[in-house]
Structure 1
Amino acid sequence: MITWRQLDAFANEYASKLGSPVSPRYLAGPGDPRHVTHALCAAGWSTPCDPLHPVIRMQSPDQQHELVFKPSAQYARNWWTVHSGFGPSNWYAAFSGSTPVEIVAGLTDTLLLPEPEETARENFTAILTTRGWEHTTDELGGHQIMSPDRTAMVEQRISPSMGRCGWEIEVARHHGPHGPEGLLWRASLDIRTPGHVLGAVATALSDPAPVPRPRFTIDESPHLTVGRENVIGEQIVTAHQQRLAEARQHRPTTPPAAARPAPNTPVVASPARSR
C-alpha cells in the first residue's frame, strides 16, 4: 500500500507549483512516474526489489504481469518495460524515458481490469482514425498512422522474412521523408499484445484532453497548445488522490492462492545392519 509518507512527499512537492494544461498529451513531456507506480501499488501490485536500488520492479497480485522502471541517463532508452504472461502467449511493451506517463498508464491501467471477451476488444487503427489520424498501408500490407500535426507516427511493418511485426510508436518534432527528425520518445508493442491493451494505448495516445505540466518542464514545440499558467499543485494532488482511490477498487479482496507445498515424504528407516 502507499504510505502516508509517500503521499505527503508527493503533496509537498507540488504544493505551490505553477504550471499549465498542455495538449496534445503525446507532446507533453514525461511527467511524474508516480502517476504509474503509485496506482499499481494502490491496486495491490508488489515491489519485490531492493528499495535502495534505483530500478523499480512491480508484479501484479496474480504474478501474470511485471513492470520494470529503469531510469537511464539517456531518455531515448527504454525506461518502462511491461512483461505479461508465460509461454508462447507472453507479450511485452517498452517505452522510452520521455514518454508521457499518461500514455504508459493507458497500458498499465488496463492490466488492473478483467480481460474482456475477444469480441469486445477495440481496434487499434480504428481508434486513431476516428480521432483524425491519417492511415495508409504499403504494398505488403503494413500500416502507417500519422497524427494530424505529423509529429506522432504509429507503424506496423511486414518483413518479407519475419512476417508481421509489432507496433512501433515514434514521436518527433517532425517526420520527414527520411524518418523522424528530433526524436522525442518511442514505444514498442509486441505482436502478441492483446487487442484490448492495444486499444487502451491508442486511446491514451490520441486522447485530446490536456494534461497538467509544471513550469520549466513544458516543451516549446509549435504543435503544443499551452493553457493559462496557474497554481496547479492542488489540482495535481487532488487528481492523484482520486486516481489512487479508483485503483484501490481493483485491489484483490483475497490474496492469490499460493502454490501448495509438496507433501512430506515419509522417512523410511534403514534396515538394521547385521553384525
Structure 2
Amino acid sequence: MIDSRQLDAFNDDYLSKLGSPVSPRYLAGPGDPRHITHALYAAGWTVHSDPLHPVIRMKSPDREHELVFKPSPHHFHGWWKVHSTLGDNWYASFSGDAPVEIIAGLTDALVRPTPDSASDDLASILAEQGWKHTADGDGGHKIVSPDRTTVAERRVSPSMGLCGWEVEVARNWGPYGPEGFLWRVALDSRAPGHVLNAMATALCDPAPVLRPRFEIDESPHLHVGREVGIGTRIVTAHRNRLAQASGYRPAPPTITTPTGPISPAAAPARRR
C-alpha cells in the first residue's frame, strides 16, 4: 500500500497550488504520473525497478501485465508502455504528453475484474460523443473529434491485414490541417476489447480535469475555467482514488496449518 511518507509528499506538492479545470481532457497536458502508479500500487501491483532510477517498472499481482514508465528527452517517444506477458502478448504505448487520466482509463481496466466477453466498441463509443466516424470498404476506420484536433484511426495493411488503433492529438486545427503535435497512443491489434473500450471512454469523457498554473497547454481549443485553489480537491480525489483501487487488491493467500495428532513419521525422535 501507499505509505504515509508518499502521501505526505503528494500533499506537499499540491496543497498550496492554484490551477483551473480544463477540457477536453485530451488537450489537458500530461498531469501527474502518480495518478497511475499510486493507483496500481494500491491495487496490488509490485515495483520491479530501482527506486533511485527514473524508470518505473510494475507488474500485476498475477504477473500477466507489466507497465513501464521511461521518461525521454523526446516527448513524442513512448514514455508509457503497457503489455501482457501471457496469452496474446498485446501492448499499448503512450507518448510523454499523454494525459494521465486517459492512460489510467486503460490501466484501471487491468485492475478491475475482466468481463466474460467484450467486443471492440471504440468507434461507437467515440461516435456517441459526437466524433465523426468514417469507414472504408476494407475494414479501416477514421474517427475525428468535434474540434478536429484528435484523430483515431485503424488502417488495413496489404501485408499485415487489420492493424491496431492509433490516436494522434494536435494542439490546433489550422487552414492546412493539424498543427502542433501533442501526443499519440498506439494500441496493438490484439488488445482486449474491454481495454480498448475503457481507454476510449476516458478519451472522450467531457468532464474537466484539474491542472496547476503553468502546466496548462495553450491550445485555442482548450477551455480553461476560473483559476482557484485546487490543492485540496486534487489531494482528496487522489486519496479517494487510492481507496477505490485498494478494493481490487487481491487477498493474501490463506496459510493452512495441519490439525490433529502428529503422525509417527513426523514426530521427533525420543531421546534416550
Q: Which stretch shifts more, 109-118 or 36-45?
A: 109-118
Runs of 4+ displaced beyond 3 Å: 174-180
Deviations 1:219-258 (A, max 9, x none): 121110111100000000000000000000000012499x
Residue 272 of structure 1 is matched in structure 2 by none
Spell out, residue by residue over 1:128-180, the C-alpha distance to the aligned partner (whole angstroms, 9 max, x if none).
00000000123433100000000010000001111110000000024579874
> Where do 5+ consecutive residues of structure 2 fail to align?
256-272
Structure 1 position 7 matched with structure 2 position 3: no
Which residue type is aligned with residue 250 of structure 1?
Answer: Y
Structure 1: gaps of 5 or more residues: 258-275
Correspondences of 1:87-126 after superposition (within 5 Å): 87=87, 89-118=88-117, 120-121=118-119, 123-126=121-124
Alignment-derived partner of residue 125 in structure 2? 127
Change (3 A) 1:180 1:161: farther
1:173 equivalent among 171, 174, 198: 171
- Identity of aligned pairs, percent? 67
CA distance in 1 between counterparts of 2:42 and 2:75 reads: 27
**Is the Cα contact below 8 Å between 2:131 and 2:143 reproduced in 1?**
yes
Q: Which amino acid aligns with 2:34?
A: R
Aligned residue number for residue 227 of structure 2: 229
Name the TM-score, length of structure 2 as normaliser: 0.90
Counterparts of residues 32-47 of structure 1 (less than 5 Å) = 32-47=32-47
Structure 1 residue corresponding to 2:134, chosen from 136, 145, 160: 136
Q: Is the 8 A contact 1:61 1:255 kept in 2?
A: no
- Rounded to whole Å, the distance in 1 between the matches of 2:235 and 2:4 is 13
Q: Give the secondary-structure state (helix, strand or coil) at the position aligned to 1:155.
A: strand
Tell me which residue corresponds to 2:146: 148
Partners of 1:31 and 1:100 within 8 A in 2: yes
Give the number of aligned pairs.
Answer: 255
The C-alpha deviation readout for 1:50-104, integer Å capped at 9, x for no partner, is 11111000000000000000011111111000011425x1200000000000000
Cα RMSD, aligned residues only:
1.7
* Partner Cα distance (1:243, 1:86) in 2: 28
SS in 1 for 2:152: strand
State the TM-score, normalizing by the size of structure 1: 0.89
- The residue number in structure 2 matching 1:79 is 79
